[in-house]
């Protein structure tokens, strides 16, 4: 659409480099689409001289292609989770690979994908692409561990000598993890790094196997461990996402149990189809993550279908009562809980 200037002649419409639609409108647009989308994630540690300019360039490029997703840009690189209309996939790859910073960056394609992984396109500039709290002299991302294929990973696991470490948060590991893995009891990557370092003291001579969702946290962890004197550090190339792809392509045995938590609207994709976790409200076997329907709470937790119906998609009696209040009363509660630090509590640790 064009606008007119003061002389009445057309001028180019202003380009908006951010989303301007409500969640309801975005959902309607997505539901009305008659084409498929491909969910993909990728990252790269690379120096980006002007992250703000890169952010604007990528947003404009991907908005033109109809891409949706959540992308972080920092001076140290890019971390992207997004979906791309399948009819624009080749153009998406061609444009991205034409940029020196991202040439031939490896993609991790979703295992289970209904094309509804994201509602909008968000590209943000951050200090780091993964918040770790580390000083610059505590790691060197040019000195990282050995990247393993799924076959090499399985072979090292079978050796019985390796120490397997899950570099994801506890709410991710609860629904799925590798056999006999160390599962840190941490809610953030920042908290997890020192905990893992402490747990691995005394085993510096053993092969360390690191894994995470798509590989980015292992990249930083392996550099961190090598800085602290670990020599035999290995990481699963492409993370759990690419491990699942390689299993299918090469017909390899699966050593991952349960579901892989993903950071989009799906909240998970099955790897082994085993259910190893329980509903946080009734204790039945369940591995479905949801957010509490009370927007003031927004708690992430595991809820079965029966409890979802019983509690109307909330985490408990208090929140169930709140969702039936008039909207103006709910707004007051949202502001009150935000001031008290109760808004968007990250996760409920299961007692089941």
The rounded distance, in Å, linking the Cα atoms of 114 and 31 is: 11
SS3 45: strand
Residues with Cβ within 8 Å of residue 145, at least 6 apart in sequence: 208, 210, 218, 222, 223, 225, 226, 233, 234, 235
The rounded distance, in Å, linking the Cα atoms of 41 and 106 is: 9
The answer to whether position 271 is within a domain reads no
Q: What is the CATH number of the domain that holds 110?
A: 3.30.70.100
SS3 330: helix
Total number of domains in the chain = 3
**Claim to verify: residue 216 and residue 247 sit in the same structural domain:** yes
Q: How many CB atoms lie within 10 A of CB 331?
A: 13
Task: Name which of 105, 30, 31, 119 is nearest 69 in CA terms.
Answer: 119
- What is the pLDDT at residue 350? 37
**Claim to verify: residue 151 and residue 113 sit in the same structural domain:** no
The rounded distance, in Å, linking the Cα atoms of 158 and 156 is: 5
**Claim to verify: residue 34 and residue 86 sit in the same structural domain:** yes
The rounded distance, in Å, linking the Cα atoms of 59 and 18 is: 8
Q: How far is CA 344 from CA 9, 182, 259, 312, in A?
A: 49, 28, 23, 18
Torsions phi, psi of 146, nearest 5? -75, 130
Torsions phi, psi of 280, nearest 5? -75, -5
Q: Show which of 258, 288, 323 is a domain's final residue.
A: 258
Q: Are strands 256-260 and 269-270 parallel, antiparallel or unpaired?
A: antiparallel
The answer to whether position 11 is within a domain reads no
**Claim to verify: residue 164 and residue 58 sit in the same structural domain:** no
- What is the pLDDT at residue 1? 35
Confirm if 287 and 277 have CB atoms less than 8 A apart.
yes
H or E stretch at 165: strand 163-166
Is residue 319 part of the annotated active site? The answer reads no
**Roughly how many angstroms between the first and final C-alpha of the chain, as a whole number?**
56
Confirm if 321 and 296 have CB atoms less than 8 A apart.
no
**Claim to verify: residue 145 and residue 118 sit in the same structural domain:** no
Cite the DSSP H helix spans in 147-286.
Answer: 150-158, 170-173, 189-199, 216-227, 239-250
**Sign, Cα dihedral of 202, 144, 45, 120:** negative
The rounded distance, in Å, linking the Cα atoms of 127 and 17 is: 20
Note down the domain range covering 35: 17-125
Q: Are strands 208-211 and 163-166 parallel, antiparallel or unpaired?
A: parallel
**Claim to verify: residue 112 and residue 152 sit in the same structural domain:** no
**Claim to verify: residue 243 and residue 339 sit in the same structural domain:** no
Q: Show which of 98, 125, 152 is a domain's final residue.
A: 125
**Sign, Cα dihedral of 228, 232, 238, 239:** negative
Q: How far is CA 83 from CA 57, 59, 110, 341, in A?
A: 18, 13, 9, 32
DSSP state of 183: -
The answer to whether position 158 is within a domain reads yes
The answer to whether position 267 is within a domain reads no
Torsions phi, psi of 4, nearest 5? -110, 145
Active-site residue, from 212, 286, 292, 315? 212
The rounded distance, in Å, linking the Cα atoms of 281 and 308 is: 9
Question: What is the value of pTM for the model shown?
Answer: 0.77
pLDDT by residue, tens only, the chain of 352 residues: 333 343 443 344 445 677 777 778 878 888 888 899 999 999 998 989 999 999 999 999 999 999 999 999 999 899 999 999 999 999 999 999 999 999 999 998 887 667 677 889 999 999 888 888 787 778 887 788 999 999 999 999 999 899 999 999 998 999 999 999 999 988 889 899 999 999 999 898 899 999 999 888 999 899 999 999 998 999 999 999 899 999 999 999 999 999 998 876 777 888 888 999 999 999 999 999 999 999 999 999 999 999 999 999 999 999 999 999 999 999 999 999 988 877 655 554 433 2
The answer to whether position 10 is within a domain reads no
- What is the pLDDT at residue 289? 93
């Amino acid at each position: 659409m064009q606008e007119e200037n003061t002389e009445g002649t057309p001028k180019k419409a202003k380009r908006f480099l951010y989303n301007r639609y409500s969640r309801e409108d975005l959902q309607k647009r997505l539901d009305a689409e008659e084409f498929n989308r491909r969910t993909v994630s990728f990252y790269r540690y690379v120096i980006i001289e002007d992250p703000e300019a890169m952010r604007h360039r990528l947003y404009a490029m991907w908005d033109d292609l109809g891409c949706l997703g959540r992308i972080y840009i920092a001076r140290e690189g890019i971390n992207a989770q997004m979906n791309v209309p399948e009819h624009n996939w080749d153009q998406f790859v061609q444009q991205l690979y034409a940029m020196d910073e991202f040439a031939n960056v490896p993609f991790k394609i979703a295992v289970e994908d209904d094309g509804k992984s994201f509602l909008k396109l968000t590209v943000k500039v951050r200090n780091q692409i993964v918040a770790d709290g580390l000083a610059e002299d505590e790691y060197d991302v040019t000195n990282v561990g050995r990247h393993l294929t799924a076959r090499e990973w399985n072979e090292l696991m079978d050796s019985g000598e390796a120490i397997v470490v899950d570099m994801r948060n506890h709410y991710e590991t609860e629904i799925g993890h590798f056999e006999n893995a160390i599962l840190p009891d941490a809610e953030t990557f920042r908290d997890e790094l020192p905990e893992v370092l402490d747990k691995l003291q005394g085993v510096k001579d053993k092969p360390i196997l690191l894994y995470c969702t798509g590989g980015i946290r292992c990249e930083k962890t392996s550099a961190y461990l090598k800085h602290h004197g670990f020599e035999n550090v290995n990481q699963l190339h492409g993370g759990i996402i690419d491990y699942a792809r390689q299993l299918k392509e090469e017909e390899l045995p699966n050593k991952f149990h349960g579901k892989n938590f993903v950071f989009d609207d799906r909240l998970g994709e099955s790897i082994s189809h085993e259910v190893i976790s329980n509903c946080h409200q009734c204790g039945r076997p369940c591995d479905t993550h949801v957010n509490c329907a009370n927007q003031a709470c927004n708690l992430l937790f595991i809820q079965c279908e029966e409890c979802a119906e019983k509690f109307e998609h909330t985490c408990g009696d208090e929140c169930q009562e709140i969702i039936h209040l008039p909207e103006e009363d709910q707004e007051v509660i949202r502001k009150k809980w935000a001031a008290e630090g109760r808004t968007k509590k990250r996760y409920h640790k299961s007692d089941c």
